[in-house]
Chains A and B, each alone.
Chain A
Amino acid sequence: MLDFLVFAVTMIAIWSVVALSLDLQFGLCGLVNFGQILPFALGAYGPAISAAHGGSISAGLALGLAMAAVGGVLVLAPVGRLSQDYWALVSLGASEIFRLLMVNVTPIAGGQDGTAVARVSNPLAALGLALGLLLAMLLLARRIDRSPLGRLMRVLREDDLLVATLGRNPFRVQALVTVVAWLMAALAGALYAHVVGFVAPSSFSVAETFIVWTALILGGAGSLLGAVVGTAFVQFISVSTRFLAAWSGLPFDLVANLRLGIFGVVLVLVFLLRREGLVPERKVRVDAVGP
């Protein structure tokens, strides 16, 4: 049981970093990224491509981070001055293009079959790395959140025109946030690859993006702790319903569908009863400067 809990917490920590990355983009800056799985996948494919071509672990990590940083700018560039509807669609399309590229171009990293990468075989070491990464990313996000940049991001979220009137370039802020957030998700992706020991396109479908979105909205967009709590909540429901299913003694096919039903009902109830999320965004109070 302990091994199972260690694995579950490891996964919660990794996916929390992905949710935290989305929180920086959407929760704080208002960037609607419907392709959030893409930076995670780029980070995971760095080690995969490196392993498939005889490279080292550090080379894989560097490759994953580089792909995420460049990828973020490339995806944002064509739509930076357009409304968020376009950013949502382009990011969604980009994530699918990358996944299909990995499916169809086998020499890159094994195609549909995927690629094995070096695995962190000690579960406690994997847990330590995941919690360490989460803590570091939480501190980084908190630093950004409370900095002038964080305040500017919130202004941008509410009104990009206002940012421009303050003499700031909204696109530059968005690009900076995108690069930082995508690097965070890429680090999580690289760790995921080494914890699981295997990378394949099927791990990076659109559905995964929306699970991250669910976790963020559930936890409370704009709240850093909310991103972690939301991810933990989603994972907890997913895992705990497996035990409820076994306990019920109902036919297996009915149980499988009931699990999803319970999952949906709980999510709807939380959305109805806690519209601001489980950990709502904290109001920022700034003392007025006297005359």
Chain B
Amino acid sequence: MQRFIHSMVGAGAVALAFLSSGAQAQSKEPIPIGVIANLTGMDVKTSTDMVRGIQIAADAVNKDGGVDGQPIKLIIEDAQYKTQEALNAATKLYDVDKVPAVIMFGGSSIELAVAPIAKQKGKIIVNTSSSSAKLGDFPGTVYSVLPLDDIVGKALGEWTAAQGVKSAAFVVPNNTFGTGLMDAAATAFEAKGGKIVAKIAYSEGQPDYRADIQQLVSSKPDAIMTTGYGDDSRTIFKDARTLGLKQVWYAGYPSILTVENEAWMNGHLMGVDNGGLSGDVAKKVGADYAAKFGKEEPLPHVFYGYDALMLIARAAAAPGGFSATTMAKSIDGYQGATGAIKWDVRGQRIDPPIDVISYKDGKFVTTGQQ
């Protein structure tokens, strides 16, 4: 009986020690990480998918024991695609929630408004969606996992010319992303001997774009170069179909466009996109996305969000803890969902892998690398 009591006491002590060590790990303060996205207003779908990518990454980090035992806690704020709301969200995150870093979904003008505040407070912004060159004016504060417009634009222009296209028209949203990509693509296309016959920059959020794209009927380009976002691109495609346009669409980031009519678009939409999305990490993230959020096809922003949080976690786990220095080094040896990441001295992404993708039989398929 005494032996039984001793063994029970011993087992209890072991269990207590085990539980207390577990409790110690669990009781460690979480690391708060801020997220600012447009969860209402414009770009809701893309913003939502970015947040989902961040959540998948946070789940993965926390499942592996967190950052040195500290779980990551996400604090998600809505910017409504408004500067004032983004400022309110950022000051709350930095001053009340005491986050060391915020992952942001722009546009550029919203991120650029928050950047001076982050810089003053010594905080970090990880940009997942904006591509203005001015983001590079905040080295040590703003780090981008999305390459700037000139890189993908140049790839689009050169690749389109290589397909034998002699003349092209542009249809892009009238924002930094759209016009920046258009300018870079046009320069590269013309340098290869191509001719630009029209440049159409439309105001986002319109229910009908026929007045904007009507001139494509008369200018008769060999092809149409484009980029844009979900709802707008769907309307553009519908209006182009209504007007009887039959050209092939060459797109920067075609996977973020929304096809309106599968049969009409089959084989008529292709372009260049971030190349990491066909890699193993992206496939794993895609599977996690399907498991957590259903069968819906993830947008590329899932993968940018995933990489943003993973880099923050790597920086936080580095000796010395999270800082601008460890953030800058977090990309060393990192193979992410969007491929290997390389930053210039300003923290802006350069040399991304580029894939060529086409829309066939109702889905986008990778057909090569550039």
B175 within 8 A of A: yes
User: Given B40, B48, B92, B110, which contacts A260 in the complex, CB threshold below 8 Å?
Assistant: B40
- B96 / chain A contacts, CB cutoff of 8 Å: 1, 4
A252 within 8 A of B: yes
> Does A256 lie within 8 Å of B110, measured CB to CB?
no
- Taking A7-B95, A198-B116, A200-B113 as contacts, is the C-beta distance between A253 and B48 under 8 angstroms? yes
A224 CB to nearest B CB, Å: 23
- Bin chain B's interface residue count: 35 or more
B216 CB to nearest A CB, Å: 20
A268 within 8 A of B: no
A197 within 8 A of B: yes
> Does A202 lie within 8 Å of B88, measured CB to CB?
no
- B85 / chain A contacts, CB cutoff of 8 Å: 238
A142 within 8 A of B: no
> Does B112 lie within 8 Å of A200, measured CB to CB?
yes
B39 within 8 A of A: yes
> Does A197 lie within 8 Å of B116, measured CB to CB?
yes
B247 within 8 A of A: no
A259 within 8 A of B: yes
> Does A201 lie within 8 Å of B109, measured CB to CB?
yes
User: Given A121, A203, A252, which contacts B84 in the complex, CB threshold below 8 Å?
Assistant: A203
* Closest residue on chain B to residue A211 by CB atoms: B84
- Taking A202-B109, A253-B48 as contacts, is the C-beta distance between A7 and B83 under 8 angstroms? no
B172 CB to nearest A CB, Å: 12
B120 within 8 A of A: yes
- Taking A196-B116, A202-B83, A202-B110 as contacts, is the C-beta distance between A113 and B134 under 8 angstroms? yes
- Bin chain A's interface residue count: 35 or more
- Taking A103-B174, A121-B120, A256-B78 as contacts, is the C-beta distance between A3 and B113 under 8 angstroms? no
In the docked arrangement, what's the CA distance between A281 and B367, Å? Answer: 69
A/B pair count, beta carbons within 8 Å? 98
> Does B112 lie within 8 Å of A198, measured CB to CB?
yes
- B84 / chain A contacts, CB cutoff of 8 Å: 11, 203, 208
Interface string of B189-216 (1 = CB under 8 A from A): 0000000000000010000000000000
B75 within 8 A of A: yes
A257 within 8 A of B: yes
Instruction: Give residues of chain A (1-50) contacting chain B, Cβ–Cβ below 8 Å.
Output: 1-4, 7-8, 11
Instruction: Give residues of chain B (281-337) contacting chain A, Cβ–Cβ below 8 Å.
Output: none
> Does A114 lie within 8 Å of B109, measured CB to CB?
yes
> Does B88 lie within 8 Å of A8, measured CB to CB?
yes
- B110 / chain A contacts, CB cutoff of 8 Å: 202
A246 within 8 A of B: yes
B340 within 8 A of A: no
A99 CB to nearest B CB, Å: 11
- Taking A112-B175, A113-B109, A198-B116 as contacts, is the C-beta distance between A239 and B88 under 8 angstroms? yes
> Does B108 lie within 8 Å of A112, measured CB to CB?
yes
* Closest residue on chain A to residue B138 by CB atoms: A116
B14 CB to nearest A CB, Å: 35
- Taking A201-B109, A242-B88 as contacts, is the C-beta distance between A256 and B82 under 8 angstroms? no
> Does B83 lie within 8 Å of A3, measured CB to CB?
no
Instruction: Give residues of chain A (189-242) contacting chain B, Cβ–Cβ below 8 Å.
Output: 196-198, 200-203, 205, 207-208, 238-239, 242
* Closest residue on chain B to residue A257 by CB atoms: B40
B7 CB to nearest A CB, Å: 43
A residues touching B (Cβ–Cβ < 8 Å)?
1-4, 7-8, 11, 100, 103-104, 110-114, 116, 119, 121, 196-198, 200-203, 205, 207-208, 238-239, 242, 246, 252-253, 255-257, 259-260
B residues touching A (Cβ–Cβ < 8 Å)?
39-40, 48, 51, 75-78, 81-85, 87-89, 91-92, 94-96, 107-110, 112-113, 115-117, 120, 132, 134, 137, 174-176, 179, 203
Q: Assuming A112-B179, A202-B81, A202-B110, what are 20 further A-B pairs, CB within 8 angstroms?
A: A3-B95, A4-B91, A4-B95, A4-B96, A11-B88, A112-B175, A197-B116, A198-B116, A200-B113, A202-B107, A202-B109, A203-B83, A203-B84, A242-B77, A242-B89, A252-B39, A256-B39, A257-B39, A257-B40, A259-B40
Q: Can you spell out 23 A-B residue pairs with CB atoms less than 8 angstroms apart?
A: A3-B95, A4-B91, A7-B91, A7-B95, A104-B174, A111-B176, A112-B108, A112-B176, A113-B108, A119-B120, A121-B120, A198-B113, A198-B116, A200-B109, A201-B109, A202-B81, A202-B82, A238-B85, A239-B88, A246-B75, A256-B40, A256-B78, A259-B40
